[in-house]
Chain A
Amino acid sequence: MNLIRVLLLMFALCPFAAQAQDDPFAGLAGNYEAIRHAVEALAVSGNPNAAATVAALQAGTLFAAPDQSLWIRQGDTLTNARTGVTGTPEGDLRRVRVNNAVRRAIEEATGALTLFAPVPAKRIKAAADLFAQHDAAMLPMLERALAKETDPAVRGAIEQAYAAALLAAGVAPVTDRLAAIDVLRRRGDLDASNLLASLTNQPPQVAAAAARAVAAIARVQRLWALAQGVFYGLSLGSVLLLAAAGLAITFGVMGVINMAHGEMVMLGAYTTFLVQQAIGAYAPALAGAGVVLAVPAAFVVAGAVGIAVERLLIRFLYGRPLETLLATWGLSLALQQAVRSIFGASNRDVTSPGWMSGAAQWGGLTITFNRLYIIVFAALVVAALMAVLRFTPLGLRMRAVTQNRRMAAAMGIRTPWIDALTFGLGSGVAGMAGVALSQIDNVSPNLGQGYIIDSFMVVVFGGVGNLWGTLVSALTLGIVNKFLEPVAGAVLAKIFVLVLLILFIQRKPRGLFPLKGRAVEA
């Protein structure tokens, strides 16, 4: 009888015993050591309920019943951890406790378990984490994940993690290792390169392949760094271009030395601030479009101020460039003080709309959206300016007056009026530049002063009276500046650029693209 009972018991237990080997959950009801092993087993098990269980363990909502069944409590309902079915356990529940060793295991496991999360982005993130860990123990789970995965982007990420783990394990056949190195080479970033460089005790073939891959990655990285430098340079260049575009009209086309040009930029930036305040007060729904609405507003404000300045001040000083310089400098002081008196000396807060913030990763390039939009905006402004000069009646008259004032007057063009409009156009463009600069610089009364010398240098470097020259010169200066920066530091780079410009102007006093013909020597 006893024997039978023993046998029956064995029969009854046998499946359980066999299951305990397979059942990754089993240890959770045991001591800390057993729990830790169970967590590690769950991480690589591929069990659909593993993630929820480990999360519950971490959150302290996992309970064990006397019959070794495990329950996750969510509010008032209890779910069986193994099956995912709700139910009511028998007997008193005991919370499964954790210690530091278990917590560490949980953290590692969570990364692995996310590989099976329903959202692809989460899976990619998990694969990236596993890539960083490159732990050989994760190989089986990565294999399982790879087998299940259908999303190509996630697949790629998992393959990389798999390759990293495989190389770290150091036991795989040589062909597999070479394939893994190839995967890492195609990944091509610094992490991959570091991982490849850290490989030791490899067969000569593998070591050579790894060295080649490191070199290849370094080449790619240099190219990306170059591209990033060009992007930063273009970004700085477009800021310079925006600041200088208006000056290319007033100084370049009209020959007026407008030292108050920077203040027109500053007025544009303050207009942006006012537009933003007005939208915040009257039409909060339009908040995202504030910057866009500020562009025409800034053009009108700065353009109107420009026309007023031309009529009241500059027209008396035509033909006396040095006096114009002094008078407009005085004007710039007065404008600064006026803005300081009205708005206060401190910086005004212009917020960037949501669609302008953030960044995109493109290969090895980080592209910040506000910089990108400024580049686009600068391109649009210059294109519009060129179109106005070239295709509109106003542009035609402007060019006529600059080329031969008396002849233009004889043809019936009201030259004083054209002067005023030209100056207004240049100032308006400066105002639009202010909108862009308000997004990346402090909106303060001194905003314009920081740009005035740069703007003049850009126009002079490009060749006076030549918008294309201004464009080329702004972008060149921006890129040169950005490439000098890592070598020399930001301030020294700027000093170098200034000194180079001073030397350049000595060599070619008329800039990169001088105007030819009689107009030059007038």
Chain B
Amino acid sequence: MSRASLTLCLTMVLGGAALLALLNLVVPAGSALHVPTYTVSLFGKYLSYAMLAVAVDLVWGFAGILSLGHAAFFALGGYAMGMYLMRQIGTRGVYGNAILPDFMVFLNWKSLPWYWQGFDHPAFAIVMVLVVPGLLALVFGWLAFRSRVTGVYLSIITQALTYALLLAFFRNDMGFGGNNGLTDFKDMFGIPLHADATRDGLLVATAIFLALELLIARYVVTSRFGKVLIAVRDAESRTRFLGYRPEAYKLFVFVLSAVMAGVGGALYVPQVGIINPSEFSPANSIEAVIWVAVGGRGTLVGAVLGAVLVNLGKTFFTGALPELWLFALGAVFIMVTLVLPGGLLGLARRRAPRAVPAAPAPEPAE
């Protein structure tokens, strides 16, 4: 990943977000240049997806871990934020209960479950946004990498993980709103959530966090640590024989990536206004992988590009030609893997000698 493309990407993300926010806030509603708040939130959503994509690229592109459950970390971060936002509703809910969210009153719960305690404090919620996905990734990754579960096996069990969480969060007894999830938020840090300025602020905040995430990820992969990581991706056994501990490297980057995904989820929820169990569905995680593949695996910038482009396409198709969206998405999956293994950035850089190295995976069962 060249410094130039990163700079370009950061400029576009931050500048674009600031421009959209300004056009929404300053330009009067009648003007041709006015950007509706809907569009602001839409791009905010894309950028939080881009945060997920960068997180996926970090593990897949640089450590060779194809996680098909990364949306689970995204959703967990989202739920942590959603719980804070639920508590902020206070007596403005349908049932007007100061302590219990509406769905708990509806389910006839008498008191707040222990795991909801503390979520009325924003600082606690923010810590949880980082800790919950990170902890899950730590436990899961520790178990998986220690016993050298790799390749497709790892992909399949990450998928099973998010599937199990999907089923769990669908249950009303879990205390996370069941099927409907958490919604009907009113305000955030004391600021009304539905105000235009809040939306603009959230978009800019997401852009800033995405930029930070890109910088951190770039720092990690270009450091000495990153070199070892790439060695693990390309030849894990060889790296181990050289005296490194691949599982430690993988675990660190997996946890880092999960935390990043969680932050993305936490920024996603206030902009979309709802978090429900469908965010855990395995299809979402796989879609996040295809964003990365479209942009170009192992480039970080490509992940942002892919996430924004594919989701722009999704918004267009599901609005204009809903029948065709899955055909288009399916075709993108197939075309990217068959004819565009380096993604769009790989295409743009085909002349350059340092193309994206495709992991030389050995043929199984031979």
Contacts and interface: CB of A to CB of B under 8 A. Distances in A.
Interface of A: 253-255, 257, 259, 313, 316-327, 329-338, 340-341, 402, 404-405, 449, 453, 456-457, 460, 464-465, 491-492, 494-495, 498-499, 501-503, 505-507, 509, 519, 522
A254 B365 contact: yes
B334 A327 contact: yes
Given A322-B66, A331-B330, A506-B147, A519 B152 contact: no
A333 B333 CA distance: 9
B361 interface: yes
A259 B337 CA distance: 14
Nearest to B335: A330
Interface stretch (B31-39, B156-164, B248-256): B156-164
Contact-residue bracket for chain B: 35 or more
A contact face: mostly helix, strand, loop, or mixed: helix
Interface string B343-366: 000000000000000110111111
B157 A320 contact: no
A457 B158 CA distance: 11
A506 B282 CA distance: 20
Contact of A323 (B140, B282, B323, B337): B337
B212 interface: no
A342 to B, nearest CB: 11
B contact face: mostly helix, strand, loop, or mixed: helix
B155 interface: yes
Contact of B151 (A316, A321, A336, A404): A321
A316 B152 contact: no
B332 interface: yes
13 contacts: A253-B365, A257-B155, A320-B337, A322-B359, A330-B329, A330-B337, A331-B330, A333-B330, A337-B330, A453-B163, A495-B167, A495-B168, A502-B161
Given A330-B332, A341-B323, A494-B167, A519 B366 contact: yes
B23 to A, nearest CB: 35
A506 B333 CA distance: 30
B62 to A, nearest CB: 14
A503 B143 contact: yes
B171 interface: yes
Contacts of A327: 333-334, 337-338
B226 interface: no
A332 B290 CA distance: 14
A327 B131 CA distance: 34
A335 B330 CA distance: 9
Contacts of B290: 326, 330
Given A326-B290, A330-B329, A255 B148 contact: no
A459 to B, nearest CB: 9
B156, B161, B331, B336, most chain A CB atoms within 10 A? B156
A509 B154 CA distance: 9
A505 B152 CA distance: 12
A162 B155 CA distance: 65
A344 to B, nearest CB: 12
Contacts of A257: 152, 155
B149 interface: yes
A492 B330 CA distance: 32
Interface string B266-294: 00000000000000001100100110010
B332 to A, nearest CB: 7
A253 B358 CA distance: 25
Contacts of B16: none
Contacts of A255: 363-365
A320 B329 contact: no
A509 B143 contact: no
Contacts of B161: 498, 502
Given A322-B361, A457-B156, A498-B163, A336 B326 contact: yes
A288 to B, nearest CB: 37
Contacts of B49: none
B233 to A, nearest CB: 11
A505 B286 CA distance: 21
Contacts of B283: 449
Contacts of A498: 160-161, 163-164, 167
Given A323-B341, A325-B66, A330-B329, A506 B167 contact: no
A505 to B, nearest CB: 5
Contacts of B282: 453
Contacts of A503: 143
Contacts of A495: 164, 167-168
A333 B329 contact: yes
Given A329-B286, A509-B153, A321 B364 contact: yes
A337 B327 contact: yes
Given A321-B364, A453-B159, A334 B144 contact: no
Contacts of A506: 143-144, 146-147, 149
A329, A460, A499, most chain B CB atoms within 10 A? A329
Nearest to A341: B323
Contact of A330 (B153, B157, B331, B363): B331
A448 to B, nearest CB: 13
Interface string B118-155: 00000000000000000000001001101111011101
Interface in B211-241: none
B170 interface: yes
Contacts of B327: 333-334, 337-338
Contacts of B323: 337, 341
Nearest to B237: A521
A33 to B, nearest CB: 53
